[in-house]
Amino acid sequence: MFGDIFNAQFVASSIRVAIPLALAGLGGVFSERSGVINIGLEGIMLTGAFTAVAVTNFTQNPWVGVLAAIFVGILLGLIHAVTCITFKANQIVSGVAINLFASGITVFFCWLLFNETQIMAKSNLPIWGLPLPNIGEGSTFVRNIIVMFAHHSPLVYLTIVIFILAHLILFKTPFGLRLRSVGEYPQAADTMGVNIIKMRYMAVMTSGALAGLAGSFLSLEQAHFFVKEMSGGRGFIALAAMIFGKWTPLGTAGAALLFGVGEALAMRLQGVLVIPVQFINMIPYLLAIFVLVSAIGRATPPAADGIPYEKEIG
Amino acid sequence: MKSIKKFDYYVLLEKITPLIAVICGLLVGAIVIILIGENPVFVYKTLFSYAIGNRDGWGNVLFRATPLIFTGLAVAFAFRCGLFNIGGEGQVYIGSFLAAWVGFTFTNFPAFILIPLCILAAACGGALWAAVPGILKAKMGVHEVIITIMMNWIAASLSFYLALVYKAPATEAMIAAGVKQMIPHTKEIAQAARLPRLYTILNSINIDFPAHNQVNVSFFIAIGVAILAYYILWKTNLGYEIRAVGYNPLAAEYGGISVAKNIVLAMIISGAFAGLVGTNEVMGYKYRWRQEILSGLGFNGIAVALLGKNHPLGVVLAAILFGILNYGGAIVNIYTKGRIPRELIMVLQAVIVIFVVISDEVVKRLIRQRRKVV
């Protein structure tokens, strides 16, 4: 039984499940490092998921669908930025409003364009990587390695590239230093000539783009359909991953993988154990609470996280 | 004199920001309606005339407003303590389920015991579910936002499981037709646990009111809870302490108020308010627990609380407005044969929330500038 659950397929599905969490979590990293809390990630993911499927079905090109999801994510990020940065409104409230908006607008357009609340994706991205050898041909070891690491959606490889880039940008470039300083001590950054407003806008819109991409992966690559409320709290689990990862890209990726293992395990356990499926469905959420509680005392948010910037005058 | 007059004008403006937000929201809605090729004047006329043009409409509006008053009060109460209880959804699930459980378990109790017992169960279920994030926040400093959301999903799974455990037996008609129950719901609650519909009362005093209208006594419970929330917040020591923690936790702690204790208490009371949704949905409407009838109430409660400026009276008014939009939206959906999906109302509500927070901030800034000038 043990071998039935923990095999190469399990590793591969853990990675796949972790991708949207990691991308949205990285969005959270950018936003909160600049000092803006973005709990609208959940809604942006949902809207991205819908947009990806809808645009793919209209254009027959999944790549256009992915780009559209990113674009819509940036737009919603822009709304959050205008509300929180320009109008200095409460960031949690704005995020909640974006989530409400997303729940409504996705189903609204589902009815309007497709006349149903679940739409199948008519086309998917091609699998990139090495071809899978048939069972029995070649060594099992090579086959397992390919299953685990070299037979995925292009977005999986893209995510890895994005994470390496994000790490380099945040910690090895002057831009990253400025971004982090804006979230830690905006007054000092302002004195040094950093444009706080511009930096925060860029960060929040980046987080929107990443959450939109995460949503497109969820619908196009993982589920192959869109259904209302399909994000299922993943935007918030992504925030838990961000906190557990101490607001760093690599830490967030690690935490997202942990959640990926949890969710993949939950999927595997269905039908294997006698525990009712409803309890297995709770695993990712219980894991998130457990992770958050255990991160306390070890994870400190950026000092100016959640505080609108008021320029001192006179 | 002139400056004083202007100052008053801005204070008035601050009071009516929700109204401005609603108008802006309706304007955005009108643009959306035009974009999908319909006539906004016709849509809004249909929406409002059916919702508030006659007694039946009002009954439906109040029926839809009732659960929103409960969840709106829940969010507003926690917010007064500086907490975001966005887990109303889960608290509603658990509270309603417990009310149903008491209702179908103690079937031989008389109504005067069973009804209070069911109400108490609803409140306790919600309170219990909200206590967890409250304690985690108070003792360990874990942010309540993510925990309450996670608790929502756990509650959804748990109550779904419990609904299967206490599943209603299939009726003979269903067995004969070979239909399987798709959405599991529990057994029916006892007759003695049911809250009377308003039409029974209104008809007995010779007021004409349609019998199919679902508005029930739970509406008065909601109004009672709104008064209770006002009383606790502004007339008791506990309310004073809760608001002090909300204004400035450090100052409150320095003044000898236990921040941790008040956070837990505020969450428990908030959760109890949300759990009381069960009185409307279970005791007054479906007479059993069923998952689908409840979705979205917790989140709409946030919008209601914001629109009502976290004041009990404002919450009641905002809930009634949302009741009008929800019921009218459903009617419009039917009248336009689905050309205007009812989710338009959800979009409208989100837009209103964004406008409320923006106009609040803008007016606050205007007042601050005004004060500096004066």
Specify the length of chain B in residues. 374
Which among A83, A288, A293 has the least Cβ separation from residue B358?
A: A83
> For residue B179, is pLDDT > 80?
no
Spatial separation of the C-alpha atoms in residues B319 and B280, rounded to whole Å: 14
On whether both B351 and B298 belong to a single domain, the answer is: no
Residue B339 has what pLDDT? 84
Contact B160 A286 (CB under 8 A): no
Q: How many domains does chain B have?
A: 2
Own/partner contacts of B359-367, CB < 8 Å, gap of 24 or more, are B359/B17, B359/B20, B359/B21, B359/B24, B360/A89, B360/B14, B360/B17, B361/A87, B361/A88, B361/A89, B362/A87, B363/B10, B363/B13, B363/B14, B363/B17, B364/B14, B366/B10, B366/B13, B367/B10, B367/B11, B367/B14
Which among B153, B300, B345 has the least Cβ separation from residue A285?
A: B153
pLDDT in tens, A168-182: 999 999 999 999 999
On whether both B237 and B261 belong to a single domain, the answer is: yes
Residue A9 has what pLDDT? 85
Which among A88, A108, A288 has the least Cβ separation from residue B344?
A: A108
Residue A269 has what pLDDT? 81
**Closest Cα to residue A264, out of A1, A8, A23?**
A8
Is residue B13 assigned to a domain?
A: yes
Contact B299 A100 (CB under 8 A): yes
B141, closest residue in chain A (CA to CA): A296
Which among A88, A99, A108 has the least Cβ separation from residue B343?
A: A108
Task: Give me the mean pLDDT over the A1-21 stretch.
Answer: 83
pLDDT band at A267 (very low <50, low <70, confident <90, very high): confident
On whether both B157 and B304 belong to a single domain, the answer is: yes
> For residue B5, is pLDDT > 60?
no
On whether both B237 and B372 belong to a single domain, the answer is: no
Residue B1 has what pLDDT? 45
Task: Look over chain A and give the mean of its residue pLDDT values, rounded to a whole number.
Answer: 90
R_g (Cα) of chain A, nearest Å: 20
Residue B182 has what pLDDT? 63
Say yes or no: A185 contacts chain B, CB-CB below 8 A. no
Q: Check residues A231 and B12 and name the one with the higher pLDDT.
A: A231
pLDDT in tens, B332-374: 989 888 888 888 888 888 889 888 888 888 888 888 777 777 6
Is residue B49 assigned to a domain?
A: no
Residues in chain A with CB shorter than 8 Å from the CB of B25 are none
- How far B312 CA sits from the closest chain A CA (Å)? 19
Contact B338 A104 (CB under 8 A): no
Cβ neighbours of A213 (radius 10 Å): 29
On whether both B14 and B114 belong to a single domain, the answer is: no
A202 to each of A13, A36, A176, how far by Cα in Å? 33, 11, 12
Residues in chain A with CB shorter than 8 Å from the CB of B37 are none
Residues A201/A75, Cβ–Cβ less than 8 Å? no
**Closest Cα to residue B334, out of B39, B43, B30?**
B43
**Model pTM score:** 0.91
Q: Which domain holds residue B31?
A: 1-38+341-374
pLDDT in tens, B115-147: 999 999 999 999 999 999 999 999 988 889 889
On whether both B149 and B236 belong to a single domain, the answer is: yes
> For residue B181, is pLDDT > 70?
no
Contact B357 A79 (CB under 8 A): no
On whether both B9 and B74 belong to a single domain, the answer is: no
**Which of A 240-269 lie inside 8 A of B, CB atoms?**
240, 243
Domain containing residue B94: CATH number: 1.10.3470
- How far B268 CA sits from the closest chain A CA (Å)? 19
Residues in chain A with CB shorter than 8 Å from the CB of B146 are 236, 239-240, 243, 288, 292
- Helix A41-59 vs helix A196-216: crossing angle, to nearest 10: 60
Element (H, E) at B90: helix B88-105
pLDDT band at B178 (very low <50, low <70, confident <90, very high): low
pLDDT in tens, A26-42: 999 999 999 999 999 99
- How far B332 CA sits from the closest chain A CA (Å)? 14
Contact B150 A286 (CB under 8 A): yes
On whether both B141 and B89 belong to a single domain, the answer is: yes
Q: Check residues A4 and A148 and name the one with the higher pLDDT.
A: A148
Residue B76 has what pLDDT? 97
E strand residue ranges, B125-185: none
> For residue A160, is pLDDT > 60?
yes
- How far B4 CA sits from the closest chain A CA (Å)? 26
Q: A76, A85, A93, A112: which to substitute to probe chain B, counting the most B Cβ within 10 Å?
A: A93
Which residues, 6 or more positions from B267, have their beta carbon under 8 angstroms from its beta carbon?
Answer: B78, B81, B83, B85, B130, B131, B133, B134, B137, B144
- How far A256 CA sits from the closest chain B CA (Å)? 15
Cα B143 → chain centroid: 22
**Which of A 60-89 lie inside 8 A of B, CB atoms?**
79, 83, 87-89
> For residue B214, is pLDDT > 70?
yes
- Does residue B338 sit in helix, strand or coil? coil
Residue A270 has what pLDDT? 77
Contact A100 B357 (CB under 8 A): no
On whether both B168 and B220 belong to a single domain, the answer is: yes
> For residue A66, is pLDDT > 60?
yes
Residue B349 has what pLDDT? 87
pLDDT band at B4 (very low <50, low <70, confident <90, very high): low
Is residue B52 assigned to a domain?
A: no
Residues in chain B with CB shorter than 8 Å from the CB of A233 are 149-150, 152-153
Is residue B129 assigned to a domain?
A: yes
On whether both B24 and B150 belong to a single domain, the answer is: no
Residues in chain A with CB shorter than 8 Å from the CB of B150 are 233, 236-237, 240, 285-286, 288-289
Task: Give me the mean pLDDT over the B74-90 stretch.
Answer: 94
Residues in chain A with CB shorter than 8 Å from the CB of B89 are none
Contact B358 A89 (CB under 8 A): yes
Contact A233 B149 (CB under 8 A): yes
Q: Check residues B25 and A138 and name the one with the higher pLDDT.
A: B25
On whether both B85 and B206 belong to a single domain, the answer is: yes
Contact B361 A89 (CB under 8 A): yes
Contact A233 B347 (CB under 8 A): no
Residues B316/B305, Cβ–Cβ less than 8 Å? no
Task: Look over chain B and give the mean of its residue pLDDT values, rounded to a whole number.
Answer: 89
Task: Give me the mean pLDDT over the B96-100 stretch.
Answer: 95
Write down the domain spans for chain A. Answer: 2-295
On whether both B241 and B124 belong to a single domain, the answer is: yes
Contact B141 A296 (CB under 8 A): yes
Residue B292 has what pLDDT? 67
**Which of A 86-145 lie inside 8 A of B, CB atoms?**
87-90, 92-94, 96-101, 103-105, 107-108, 111-112, 115
CATH of domain A2-295: 1.10.3470
Spatial separation of the C-alpha atoms in residues B280 and B195, rounded to whole Å: 8
- How far B341 CA sits from the closest chain A CA (Å)? 6
> For residue B54, is pLDDT > 60?
yes
Contact A232 B142 (CB under 8 A): no
Return the HEC string of A49-89: HHHHHHHHHHHCCHHHHHHHHHHHHHHHHHHHHHHHHHCCC
Is residue B250 assigned to a domain?
A: yes
Residue A274 has what pLDDT? 75
- How far B209 CA sits from the closest chain A CA (Å)? 33
**Residue A35: φ, ψ to 5°:** 100, 15
Q: A21, A45, A79, A108: which to substitute to probe chain B, counting the most B Cβ within 10 Å?
A: A108
Interface size, chain A vs chain B, as Cβ–Cβ contacts under 8 Å: 126
> For residue B240, is pLDDT > 70?
yes
> For residue B68, is pLDDT > 70?
yes
Which among A104, A239, A243 has the least Cβ separation from residue B343?
A: A104
**DSSP at B266:** H
Residue A265 has what pLDDT? 87
Which among B153, B345, B354 has the least Cβ separation from residue A94?
A: B354
Share of chain A above pLDDT 70, in %: 96
pLDDT in tens, B276-299: 999 999 999 989 998 765 568 888
pLDDT in tens, B308-325: 999 999 999 999 999 999
pLDDT in tens, B22-36: 999 999 999 999 998
**Residue B216: φ, ψ to 5°:** -135, -175
